[in-house]
Amino acid sequence: MTAIIVPKEPKKPEEKPKEGPKAEPAKAPKPGETPAGPPKEEAKAEKPAESEEEVSEEEDAKLKLPFPTAAVVRIMKANMDSEKMIRKDVKVAMNKWLGEMCGRVSKEMNKFPYVMMHLNELNEGKRIYEDMDSFDKEKQRILAHLDAMKKDIERLERDLGKKEEEVITMEKKEE
């Protein structure tokens, strides 16, 4: 058996900027960017975010938070307006509160005699907190009904007041 050796083509050297070893290859500019890179405002906004995440990971370990801060912040920002900013103390407090809520639900689940916890036990454990919304809706419905009853009472009082005045004026005329 004979082997055929095919010579490899030499690799073309990529053009790299002379900024340092970590420089990335040049890319086409995105809309709103200059060929040199993103606008100065965006570049400034990106740098603190990167350092903030690095610091938060180190501080997470020190604070012993129950969940990764980045995951909590991602969920918070997904449900907030884009221009809203979240302070660090709020991120930490939300993380701790979520840990407490997880502990409370787990205690409710622990009341079941089963060794293996299934989705049904989780649903029963979190029912108290999910029912809060339905309780609030029920409260609003009852308050609206009470307001309607108050209006009915006021209307009846006006009607009775008119009749009593009519009865009193008739009695005076008879005397």
The DSSP string of 101-130 is HHHHHHHHHHTS--SS--HHHHHHHHHHHH
Q: Quick check: 53 pLDDT over 50?
A: yes
Give the rounded percent of residues in the chain with a pLDDT score beyond 70.
Answer: 59
CA 79-82-85 angle, to 5 degrees, is: 90
Would you state the pLDDT for residue 130? Answer: 85
As a whole number of angstroms, the distance between CA 56 and CA 67 comes to 12
Give pLDDT tens digits for 18-38. 554 554 555 555 555 555 555
Tell me the pTM: 0.48
**116, 87 contact by CB (below 8 A):** no
CA dist., res. 130 & res. 136, Å (int): 11
Say yes or no to pLDDT of 47 above 50.
no
pLDDT > 90: percent of the chain: 39
Residue 80 is which amino acid? Answer: M
pLDDT for residue 78: 95
| Chain segment 89-141, per-residue pLDDT in tens | 999 999 999 999 999 999 999 999 988 999 999 999 988 888 887 888 899 99
The total number of residues written for the chain in this structure: 175
Q: Are 65 and 99 within 8 A, CB to CB?
A: yes
